[in-house]
């Protein structure tokens, strides 16, 4: 299966696409959609939407996954994150790709084995699981790959349970 993982952010939205059988994972693409903080917010959302649409067309993932909303003390930040997530959910739905959501705790537990892992630990485990020569430089892209790995692992486990 091919999975698109998305790590939403208004300044930087990370994406990671993997090919996986649920146990072995291979990176197909990863990167960050960067927006101009000085641009009107609706233009930033449009850029994120257009780039996600391009990724969906180019890589044709079977599934997509996003990280759920985390608690934020800053209401403005939480609202902007929610709007970016809404754009990502809409674009994935438009493409007809099944979508799953995972909490940060679920992603970290699935990838690192510890739900309170630091970003550096996530980056190192993503590197290890994908058998990369070096860590993914962008934390946002590494987080998106972690979301994709989490989903591939969950899907494979669900399929094995259904067969049993």
**What tokens appear for 98 in the block?**
């099944």
Q: Is 94 a catalytic residue?
A: no
Q: Is 140 a catalytic residue?
A: yes
Cα distances from 149 to residues 21, 40, 50, 118, 138, in angstroms, run 10, 33, 24, 17, 16
Q: What is the predicted pLDDT for the residue at 72? A: 65
**Domain residue spans in the chain?**
2-163
Residue pLDDT, tens place only, 77-89: 888 999 999 999 9
| Residue 30, helix vs strand vs coil | strand
pLDDT 10s digit of each residue in the chain, 164 long? 999 999 999 999 999 999 999 899 999 999 999 999 999 999 999 999 999 999 999 999 999 999 987 666 688 888 899 999 999 999 999 999 999 999 999 999 999 999 889 999 999 999 999 999 999 989 999 999 999 999 999 999 888 899 88
Q: What is the predicted pLDDT for the residue at 78? A: 85
Residue pLDDT, tens place only, 104-126: 999 999 999 998 899 999 999 99
Among the listed residues 51, 140, 143, 155, the single catalytic one is 140
CATH number of 2-163: 3.30.420.10
Q: What is the predicted pLDDT for the residue at 71? A: 62
Task: Quote the distance between the C-alpha of residue 72 and its chain's center.
Answer: 19
Among the listed residues 7, 51, 143, 155, the single catalytic one is 7
User: Is there a contact between 119 and 104 (Cβ–Cβ < 8 Å)?
Assistant: no
Among the listed residues 21, 58, 67, 133, the single catalytic one is 67
Q: Is 7 a catalytic residue?
A: yes
């Amino acid at each position: 299966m091919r999975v698109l993982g998305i790590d939403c952010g208004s300044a930087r939205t990370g994406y990671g696409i993997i090919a996986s059988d649920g146990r072995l994972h291979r990176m197909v693409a990863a990167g960050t959609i960067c927006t101009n903080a000085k641009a009107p917010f609706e233009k930033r959302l449009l850029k994120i939407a257009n780039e996600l649409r391009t990724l969906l067309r180019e890589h044709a993932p079977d599934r997509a996954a996003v990280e759920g909303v985390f608690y934020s003390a800053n209401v403005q930040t939480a609202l902007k994150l929610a709007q970016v997530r809404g754009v990502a959910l809409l674009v994935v739905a438009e493409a007809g790709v099944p979508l799953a959501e995972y909490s940060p705790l679920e992603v970290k537990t699935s990838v690192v084995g510890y739900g309170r892992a630091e970003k550096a630990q996530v980056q190192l485990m993503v590197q290890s699981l994908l058998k990369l020569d070096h860590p993914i430089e962008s934390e946002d892209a590494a987080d998106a790959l972690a979301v994709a790995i989490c989903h591939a692992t969950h899907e494979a486990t669900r399929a094995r349970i259904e067969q049993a």
